[in-house]
Amino acid sequence: MLSGDAGPGTAFAMRLVVRAAEVLGADRLIPISLYHGEATRDFAARLAEGGTRVAVPTSLNVGLVDLLHPGLWRGAPDAAERGRRLMESYRALGCRQTFTCAPYQVPEARPAFGEQVAWAESNAIVFCNSVIGARTNRYGDFIDVACAVAGRAPDAGLHRTDARRGRLVLRLGPDVLPALQHEDSFYPVLGIVLGRRAGTTVAVLDGLPAALSEDRLKALGAAAASSGSVALFHAVGSTPEASSLEAALGHEPPEATEVINFAELRATWAELTSAEGDLPLRAVSIGTPHASLAEIEALAELLGSSGPAAGVELLISTGRDVLELAEERGLAARLGGADVEILVDTCSYIAPVLRPGTGAVMTDSAKWAYYAPGNIGADVVFGTTAECVASAVAGRVVRLRSPWEAA
């Protein structure tokens, strides 16, 4: 491939992979079985020279536009067209049109425990390493798709067992009550704290309830990858490489042990609300990372026969594969009939899809709350999923009694 026998695009990709291996200090390349990521159209066009195709099954991260629901785009038409052309460029390389930040929800794109892959979306990386136990580094633009074309990645970092053991133990303080740990909002808040504490260090969370759901671990990891550079964490009793604290640490002593107390968590919870004053509610955004089928079902159950109040947009983001399942179960039609907008292929904190207006946007996602103020200028109110739904129906911000307020 490096010599050009497979075409100039493939040689270009392999040169990038080899150079990355040199920078990382890897003495060999290892085969990968999956790839997930994104890059720019010019780069894709250069890769396509000579009919280059990806060498492994390749899923795609979100694009700029919802190709299935183009009417949700509220930006400049030329920007939408550029976004569509970029998405098409990667399809031409042989990539699967998943267009989701949660490829682990797509059976064909989900790796197995121990499998070597190359992923590039921050929450997907941390979910892959932590929740599934597959292996990937944090691959950025250009090197990620080069790995897909080459079918190989540098044998370095989190691809290697010795880099995956926990080094920092984070324990919950005695003032973090069990009732709080059973709140869905607890896990994205804890993720923000984890990211700030750990940075790039592999941390072990000790003392959480066992057998946490994938959706809670997803929310935790996505927040940690937003506030820090977390690519792998262990949660004792919940993640596959942490059957015990000793196993998560690789049977070696930790480099440090720290305590997370309620005051830090409560302050972080409050910080995720950037809206000041008594702003009217203009929208509610759910599904960052993309909502799972279980989360769509929960939204439909919370709504019941209700819908959002006049003037309030209720939007849920998901992947097109999950949407197909929701359509089969009648959930999509049920939500659509209640005036819920379903967004795929992109995310509402990076693309102009929310209706124009003034007022606050409510979300149950720490990742959305972390990025939306800077990306789209949103005034954010962070709350539980139940609070988001109650607020959308009431047409104003509703706070339900919770351990955050009661403690």
**Co-location of 49 and 146 in the same domain:** yes
8 A C-beta contact, residue 220 and residue 190: yes
Backbone angles phi, psi at 28, to 5 degrees: -160, 165
For residue 279, what is the domain's CATH number?
3.30.499.10
348 φ, ψ to 5°? -75, -5
Reading the block at residue 397, the tokens are 């911000």
Provide the domain count of the chain: 3
Q: Domain end: 270, 304, 322, which one? A: 270
Both 34 and 149 in one domain: the answer is yes
Is 38 a residue whose pLDDT tops 90?
A: no
Confidence of residue 42 (pLDDT cuts 50, 70, 90): confident
Using alpha carbons only, give the angle 294, 221, 374 rounded to the nearest 5 degrees.
Answer: 100
Query: Is 53 a domain residue?
Result: yes
Looking at residues 396-402, what average pLDDT do you find? 92
Same domain, residue pair 243 and 281: no
**40 — pLDDT class (breaks 50, 70, 90):** confident
Q: Does position 316 have pLDDT exceeding 60, yes or no?
A: yes
Residues 205 and 223 in one domain: yes
**In whole angstroms, what is the distance from residue 66 CA to residue 75 CA?**
12
Q: Residues 277, 258: one domain?
A: no
Residue at 319 is within a domain: yes
Does residue 224 fall inside a structural domain? yes
Task: Extract the tokens encoding 314.
Answer: 């209720």
Kindly state whether residue 1 falls inside one of the protein's structural domains.
no
C-alpha 17/C-alpha 56 separation (Å) is 15
Q: Considering the entire predicted model, what is its pTM?
A: 0.92
Give the C-alpha separation, 106 to 321, whole Å: 6
> Is there a domain that residue 102 lies in?
yes
Query: Starting from the edge strand earliest in sequence, which strands make up the sheet with 118-119, in order?
Result: 58-60, 35-37, 118-119
Residues 327 and 309 in one domain: yes
Q: How far apart are CA 194 and CA 260, in angstroms?
A: 9
Residue-level pLDDT at 407? 47
Distance CA 128, CA 145 (A): 17
3-state secondary structure of 392: helix
Q: What is the pLDDT of residue 404?
A: 87
Answer positive or negative: Cα dihedral of 307, 310, 314, 320.
positive
How confident is the model over 117-139, as pLDDT tens digits? 999 999 999 999 999 999 999 99
Cα separation, 132 vs 191, whole angstroms: 17
What are the DSSP calls for 13-59, one per residue? HHHHHHHHHHHHT-SSEEE-S-EEE---HHHHHHHTTTS---SS-EE
Who wins on pLDDT, 37 or 359?
Answer: 359
Which pLDDT does position 39 carry in this prediction? Answer: 47
**Are 114 and 225 found together in one domain?**
no
Per-residue confidence (pLDDT) for residue 47, from 0 to 100: 82
Residues 56 and 43 both lie in one domain: yes
Give the chain's mean pLDDT: 94
Phi, psi of 327 (to 5 degrees): -70, -40
311 and 387, same domain (yes or no): yes
Reference 178, options 403, 405, 406; nearest CA is 403
* Spatial distance between the Cα atoms of 28 and 127, rounded to a whole number of angstroms: 26
C-alpha torsion sign, points 106, 16, 153, 143? negative
Lowest-confidence region among 57-61, 138-142, 359-363: 138-142
Closest alpha carbon to 323 in 336, 314, 332, 333: 332
State how beta strands 152-154 and 29-31 pair.
antiparallel
Instruction: Judge if 265 and 363 occupy the same domain.
Output: no
The pLDDT-based confidence of 233 (bands split at 50, 70, 90) is: very high
Are 104 and 153 in a shared domain? Answer: yes
Q: Which helix (H) or strand (E) holds 196?
A: helix 186-198
**What type of residue sits at position 279?**
L
Question: Do the domain assignments include residue 2?
Answer: no
Which of 33-37, 114-118, 327-331 is predicted with the least confidence, judged by mean pLDDT? Answer: 33-37
223: nearest Cα among 269, 192, 254, 183:
192
Confidence (pLDDT) at 33: 80
Last residue in a domain, options 135, 159, 183: 159
To the nearest whole percent, how much of the chain has pLDDT over 90?
85
Q: Is 328 a member of any domain?
A: yes
User: Which among 220, 248, 270 is the end of a domain?
Assistant: 270
Residue 13 lies inside a defined structural domain of this protein? yes
Per-residue model confidence (pLDDT) at position 34: 56
35 lies in the same domain as 154: yes
Query: Above 60 in pLDDT, residue 114?
Result: yes
Residue 146: give the domain boundaries: 8-159
